[in-house]
Structure 1
């Protein structure tokens, strides 16, 4: 008989490594640059190679998991991701390190797109809602804890220890998959790999914009704030990673609190998202204003807490509402779309942030010195800050634009829901869930 709690533990363990890998790698870039070379393009591919491979493969893995089985694709993904981590840990050159990161991204796409459908099949009702709260919390916690955990590993075992730790955890999870029930095997329907039909529903589009806003306003800052703090204040990686924990605690607590509020009060998911967007905007502006060489490093703590809240508040319901928009047998494809948008936006905007930062810094300091400073090296704090303001300012503007788009699509979804109620039809139409249904099964 399946043991849901054990299965949940295995799924969450494998899933945890993925966001950890996304956000935690940049803290090691100065050390990697010193050992393997500081050329901007291959160095940034250590971060972006993983993200882009994940984004490109997420939708394909989503559909394939519907056809070969969620458990099988989940296991394959863990094995591939572990191999990528091992290659990265022993890489003798920056090129091989980039290859290892791409392989890890390919496997991680299968892990995450298989995890959500497995949860949907293993749990029902309130148990499913709680499982998705944990799913969102662990995903957010992995992102938020990435710099802190990686900073600790970096200070103890060097940059290779970061990737070796990823591989070891994934191997433990792979052993644990022998206890997973075989689910989702043998879907025989043929469908296009690029199945974006759910995007016809404005409610689905609105929810997909939530992780986009989180990618722009949180993941970009989270990925490069450790380098920024090191470059601006001259702190070592281990100390910087520990400081980043102030962004982790809100991500850990917020989804649990929101789940209880949705269950016990009349607060809506739309209200939660609007609050999270406000936190992202205020936190981003605060970082740009207060992260300066002439101010104490602790001046930036409050904005970092706001960024953590902005990202953490909607984590517990985004995936559940997205998967509720499609039939259960299409859950893999739907998960692929959600993760394509989530990780694709992280890949695009993290790369955009890095490109703007590097362009500003190297324009002021051409040559190898500028390349080293752009990667987070110490020595020119005001030059680095100029790049930070340019890159971070662009992200703040994009968060505001994404928030406006979310409100537009949410209002459109509410109007459609009102029309369906007036017609006596509150069921699903064109793959769109009723907007008055909460992920915990309650209604507003």
Structure 2
């Protein structure tokens, strides 16, 4: 990749840079708030609007899927049409959709609007990050991106608490009104202060790559989410997963032949670059999935209020405000790969501890392992972005960052789909064992209740299968959750092995 020549519009006063940074940071705050807040709101949405477990799952997955799959495409469009123009368009659309979400009449409308909102989020984040890189240089750029990362962490850490407070006081719709208001303020700052920059050598969007990549992720996610309802062997699920695999092969063929590919596959020849892409997979399984499934457990199974669930989630996410910065200072003496691997081991220990806290356990028995998981996940979290750039030659840094961010966000959506399906399968096994005593139930009824248990909807499961008590259904959830934690622990430990193996030793970029 050649070094880009950037064209600027007429000069911007230096004092305006702070407002530009504030604008982009507010966008970085509202995106994780929308992500984590939607998870806390799901039980309340289900109580008001109904909807199947699959439809409720898409409230989060639709946003993450479109967000992650279009980040690279959004970056290319920002280069061609201007970073300011795309940021303003993305934030305007994001805020408008937040308003529409606040008045959505059904879960199906919520799912559709969230998918489009993910597109707007991709446009805002990709263009905002690129614009920030043009406004600051040297140490100022490092501090600016550090502030951006801290703001994103704040959204993750306190998003569930803010969402819980809003739901308790004003209802779930107030979450989307709040994100609309924050987005509007970010938009106002950008309109008045942000400069227009673009890449004059940009050659437009890689449409074949974009379509095949997005299609691969969309079909795979749909198949995995639909499998618990239709069955893994159903023609629909098998056909969708096979189509996803076919699109993936087409995507690889297209990108390997493109003159300016959306995703430069040659970077995967660098072993350390491959290792970096595995780091967000580890954090997905030991941290991100818990941001989604724990609020569902606390509200639907432990019978906490949304506010109580929000306070509980602070224990998991608050360490990310402190640990990444602390760990970054240790890289002068210890390899980032070693620190990341140690973090995954700590997170795995926390997961196993959490798995021993059964349904109805004292809150402290949940809070302490959540703190440990947060500390462990925070160690690679603060090092991943720097490693994504540092393990490749300098002239490939831009593409490396784009691939890493796409792998991280798209991986979160795929991981959520996989974990939801695994939890539903485990709940099905627990329920089948529970019904072995002879309590009659149809296969369709067992499948529906299994999905309700997996999403923490114990009240709904009891209504669907009144022959079982809520206590028995909560026990089935607890059994499934404990096995799920073992699966998450295994993947986290594999991520630790990958970190030690690929990144444990210092190496020159491109090695």
Which TM bucket (shorter chain)? 0.7 to 0.9
The alignment's C-alpha RMSD in Å is: 2.5
Q: Distance in 1 between matches of 2:195 and 2:382?
A: 24
- The structure 1 residue matched to 2:484, chosen from 371, 391, 404, is 391
- The structure 2 residue matched to 1:351, chosen from 401, 414, 417, is 417
Q: Distance in 2 between matches of 1:299 and 1:390?
A: 18
Alpha-carbon distance change, 276 to 24 in structure 1, aligned in 2, over 3 angstroms: farther
- Tell me the secondary structure at the aligned position of residue 206 of structure 1: helix
Instruction: Measure how far apart 1:194 and its partner are.
Output: 3.2
- Deviation string for 1:63-94 (max 9, x for gaps)? 22222233322222212222332222111011
Gaps of 5+ in 1: 418-427, 435-444
Residue 86 of structure 1 is matched in structure 2 by 99
Q: Distance in 1 between matches of 2:194 and 2:450?
A: 50
- Tell me the secondary structure at the aligned position of residue 314 of structure 1: helix
- The structure 2 residue matched to 1:366, chosen from 446, 454, 457, is 446
Q: Is the 8 A contact 2:43 2:300 kept in 1?
A: no
Q: Distance in 2 between matches of 1:79 and 1:148?
A: 26
The yes-or-no answer on 1:39 pairing with 2:57 is: no
Residue 186 of structure 1 is matched in structure 2 by 200
Alpha-carbon distance change, 323 to 74 in structure 1, aligned in 2, over 3 angstroms: farther
Q: Is the 8 A contact 2:300 2:456 kept in 1?
A: yes
Q: Is the 8 A contact 1:79 1:170 kept in 2?
A: yes
The yes-or-no answer on 1:376 pairing with 2:456 is: yes
Instruction: Measure how far apart 1:371 and its partner are.
Output: 4.5
Q: How is 1:49-64 mapped onto 2 (pairs within 5 angstroms)?
A: 49-64=62-77
Matched residues, number: 414
Instruction: Measure how far apart 1:17 and its partner are.
Output: 1.4
- The structure 2 residue matched to 1:244, chosen from 300, 310, 313, is 313
Instruction: Measure how far apart 1:221 and its partner are.
Output: 1.0
Q: How is 1:27-426 mapped onto 2 (pairs within 5 angstroms)?
A: 27-178=40-191, 179-189=193-203, 191-262=260-331, 265-290=332-357, 292-323=358-389, 325=392, 331=398, 333-362=399-428, 364=431, 366=446, 370-378=450-458, 379=470, 380-410=473-503, 414=506, 417=508
Q: Find runs of 4+ consecutive structure 1 residues off by over 6 angstroms.
A: none
Q: Distance in 2 between matches of 1:197 and 1:90?
A: 46
Instruction: Measure how far apart 1:330 and its partner are.
Output: 6.9
Q: Distance in 2 between matches of 1:68 and 1:196?
A: 25
Q: Distance in 1 between matches of 2:162 and 2:51?
A: 23
**Greater Rg over alpha carbons, structure:** 2
Instruction: Measure how far apart 1:187 and its partner are.
Output: 3.2
Residue 422 of structure 1 is matched in structure 2 by none
Gaps of 5+ in 2: 1-12, 205-259, 432-444, 459-469
Q: Distance in 2 between matches of 1:105 and 1:164?
A: 17
Answer 1 or 2: higher relative contact order, Cα 8 Å, separation at least 6: 1
